[in-house]
């Protein structure tokens, strides 16, 4: 597996051809644990199903994001770049839907406190930036239909202010 193969998978997704790829084949790619292949496949899949809220594609993104897994699930050791790709993938899948649950999850991920998986400040900032971009994609064009608590929370993140407990919905 090479970077060229990862780029090919991304290109297939950008052109909408990953709709025809069986999900079991995608799992085979993920099992190989190649970072570039996983990123290309996640972003390509998200591009293929952009704005559709496709359930199967959402499951593919969710298995890479702790915030979208059940609380009793096993903690997975997933590389930082794959986490970022999965976050952006969620943003693409739910683009312009103003989906309240995913908007809340992404908002919580922006304010997620650093943990052992985010070892340094640069990784934390990159993760928060990806969550912010994904949140922007989900809420783009929403206007007044966007969840009302988003703007005050984002303002608090930027300017400082009342801290919210991570993982709690408002």
Output the pTM of the full model.
0.90
**107-160, pLDDT tens digit by residue?**
999 998 876 655 566 688 899 999 999 999 999 988 887 888 898 999 998 898
**More confident: 66 or 116:** 66
Could you write out the DSSP letters of every residue in 59-121? HHHHTT-GGGS-TTSPPP---HHHHHHHHHHHHHHTTT---HHHHHHHHHHHTPPP-TTS-SH
Instruction: Specify if 70 maps to a domain.
Output: yes
Instruction: Specify if 165 maps to a domain.
Output: no
Q: How many domains does the chain have?
A: 1
Residues 24-46: what's their mean pLDDT?
95
pLDDT attached to residue 164: 64
How far is Cα 135 from Cα 131, in angstroms, rounded to an integer?
A: 6
**146-160, pLDDT tens digit by residue?**
888 898 999 998 898
Instruction: Specify if 86 maps to a domain.
Output: yes
- Supply the range of the domain harboring residue 13: 3-159
Instruction: Specify if 167 maps to a domain.
Output: no
How far is Cα 91 from Cα 51, in angstroms, rounded to an integer?
A: 9
Instruction: Specify if 142 maps to a domain.
Output: yes
Instruction: Specify if 85 maps to a domain.
Output: yes
**C-beta separation of 161 from 155 below 8 A:** yes
Supply the CATH number for residue 142's domain.
Answer: 1.25.10
Instruction: Specify if 166 maps to a domain.
Output: no
**49-64, pLDDT tens digit by residue?**
999 999 999 999 999 9
**More confident: 13 or 166:** 13
How far is Cα 36 from Cα 3, in angstroms, rounded to an integer?
A: 6
Instruction: Specify if 168 maps to a domain.
Output: no
């Amino acid at each position: 597996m090479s970077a060229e193969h990862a780029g090919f998978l991304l290109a297939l997704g950008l052109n909408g051809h990953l709709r025809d790829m069986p999900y079991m084949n995608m799992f085979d790619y993920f099992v190989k644990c190649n970072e570039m292949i996983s990123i290309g496949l996640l972003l390509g899949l998200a591009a293929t199903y952009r704005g559709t809220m496709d359930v199967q594609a959402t499951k593919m993104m969710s298995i890479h994001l702790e915030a979208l897994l059940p609380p009793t699930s096993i903690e997975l050791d997933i590389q930082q770049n794959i986490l970022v790709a999965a976050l952006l993938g969620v943003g693409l899948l739910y683009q312009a839907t103003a989906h309240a649950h995913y908007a809340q999850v992404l908002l919580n991920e922006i304010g997620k406190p650093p943990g052992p998986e985010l070892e340094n400040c640069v990784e934390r900032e990159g993760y928060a930036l990806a969550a912010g971009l994904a949140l922007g994609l989900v809420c783009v064009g929403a206007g007044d239909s966007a969840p009302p608590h988003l703007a005050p929370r984002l303002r608090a993140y930027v300017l400082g202010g009342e801290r919210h407990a991570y993982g709690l919905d408002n």
